[in-house]
Amino acid sequence: MDEALRTKPSSRKPKYSRFTQQELPAWKPILTPKWFITSFVTIAILFTPAGLLCLWASEHVVEIVDRYDDDCLPDSYATNPETFIQSKNTNKTCVRTLKIPRKMTAPIFIYYQLDNFYQNHRRYVKSRSEKQLRDPDDEDETDDCKPIENLNGNEGGPIVPCGLVAWSLFNDTYKFFKGNKVIDIDKKNIAWESDKKYKFGSEVYPKNFQKEGLIGGGQLDESKPLSEQENLIVWMKTAALPTFRKLYGRINTDLEANETITIVIQNNYNTYEFGGEKKVALSTANWIGGKNDFFGISFLAIGGVCFFVAITFILLYVFKPRPPGDPTYLSWNRNQPAQ
Site residues for another protein, window 63-122 (CB under 8 A)?
63, 82, 107, 109, 111, 113, 117-118, 120-122
Q: Does 7 contact another protein by CB under 8 A?
A: no
**Which amino acid, one-letter code, is at 2?**
D
Binder among 198, 203, 211, 222 for another protein (CB under 8 A)? 198
Nearest to 111 by CA among 67, 59, 164, 60: 67
Residue 251, helix vs strand vs coil: strand
Contact call for residues 168 and 216 (beta carbons, < 8 A):
yes
Site string for another protein, 238-257 (x = CB under 8 A): xxxxxxxxxx--x-------
Nearest approach in angstroms of CB 180 to another protein is 27
Helix (H) or strand (E) holding 312: helix 293-319
Contact call for residues 247 and 186 (beta carbons, < 8 A):
no
Name the one range near another protein by CB under 8 A: 96-104, 151-159, 256-264, 286-294: 286-294
Q: Does 258 contact another protein by CB under 8 A?
A: no
Contact call for residues 165 and 137 (beta carbons, < 8 A):
no
Nearest approach in angstroms of CB 34 to another protein is 10
Which residues lie below 8 Å from residue 65, measured CB to CB, with a gap of 6+?
Answer: 113, 279, 280, 281
Task: Count interface residues toward another protein (CB under 8 A).
Answer: 109
Nearest approach in angstroms of CB 55 to another protein is 13
**Which amino acid, one-letter code, is at 125?**
V
Q: Does 336 contact another protein by CB under 8 A?
A: yes
Nearest approach in angstroms of CB 316 to another protein is 7
Name the one range near another protein by CB under 8 A: 93-101, 150-158, 174-182, 268-276: 268-276
Binder among 49, 184, 294, 315 for another protein (CB under 8 A)? 294
Near another protein in 131-170, by CB under 8 A:
131, 134, 146-148, 164, 167-168
Residue 29, helix vs strand vs coil: coil
Task: Give CA separation, 113 vs 238, 251, 272, in Å.
Answer: 13, 17, 14
Q: Does 291 contact another protein by CB under 8 A?
A: yes
How far is residue 249's CA from residue 191's CA, in Å, rounded to a whole number?
10
Nearest approach in angstroms of CB 47 to another protein is 7
Binder among 183, 185, 313, 314 for another protein (CB under 8 A)? 313
Angle (CA) 107-133-217 rounded to 5° is 65
Q: Does 317 contact another protein by CB under 8 A?
A: yes
How far is residue 113's CA from residue 67's CA, in Å, rounded to a whole number?
9
How far is residue 151's CA from residue 317's CA, in Å, rounded to a whole number?
75
Nearer to another protein, 11 or 223 (CB): 11
Site string for another protein, 170-189 (x = CB under 8 A): --------------------
Nearest approach in angstroms of CB 206 to another protein is 18
Q: Does 8 contact another protein by CB under 8 A?
A: no
Q: Strand 260-266: give its sheet, edge to edge.
A: 93-99, 260-266, 173-178, 181-183
Residue 258: CB atoms within 10 A of its CB come to: 10
Near another protein in 14-53, by CB under 8 A:
14-16, 20-22, 24-33, 36, 39, 43, 47, 50
